[in-house]
A = this chain, B = another copy of it.
């Protein structure tokens, strides 16, 4: 359920346009798509560093977060929110259920749907993870000023709006 993450260091110094320290020309150094890819790699690295030993992946963490904040939420809703396929949501819920963090119930008025609830153990684990996650995000952003952080999040949100 875990995943090691390690890689030779990457670096993108900022110069007028693209190049790197030595003499390497990086034609993608200003490509938002490429930069987002590297940014997410860094994000996962930090996640695994913080959550080592907790037995959760980023995906599992995000599913648990949604269930904790929305008791009775349905798998389909989680999939839309997190852009996961229904089958993969089910697999993650299975793992969370096996860990004793989550329970499936069935909606009396909609017998097809299953309603996801967090258990007491799940709520406790979530409280701990929430704290670690806050610290992880803080570490991710530590090179930015507080104004830059606000802009960064706001721009990411606008980037995602459709």
The residues of A with any CB-CB pair to B shorter than 8 Å are: 7-14, 20, 24-43, 46-47, 58, 62, 65-66, 68-70, 73, 76-77, 79-86, 130, 133, 136-137, 140-141, 143-144, 148-149, 151-162
- CB-CB under 8 A from A77, the residues of chain B are 24
**B35 and A37: CB pair below 8 A?**
no
* Nearest CB of chain B from residue A58's CB, rounded to whole Å: 7
Given contact pairs A27-B69, A70-B25, A157-B14, A34 touches B7 in the complex (Cβ within 8 A): no
* Nearest CB of chain B from residue A134's CB, rounded to whole Å: 9
Q: Is the interface of A mostly helix, strand, loop or mixed?
A: helix
**A12 and B62: CB pair below 8 A?**
no
* Nearest CB of chain B from residue A86's CB, rounded to whole Å: 8
- CB-CB under 8 A from A144, the residues of chain B are 155, 158-159
Query: Which residue of chain B is the closest to A76 with respect to CB atoms?
Result: B8
- CB < 8 Å: which of B68, B82, B149, B153 contacts A27? B68
Given contact pairs A40-B36, A140-B32, A153-B35, A162 touches B9 in the complex (Cβ within 8 A): yes
Bound state CA distance, A155 and B149, in angstroms? 9
**B156 and A39: CB pair below 8 A?**
yes
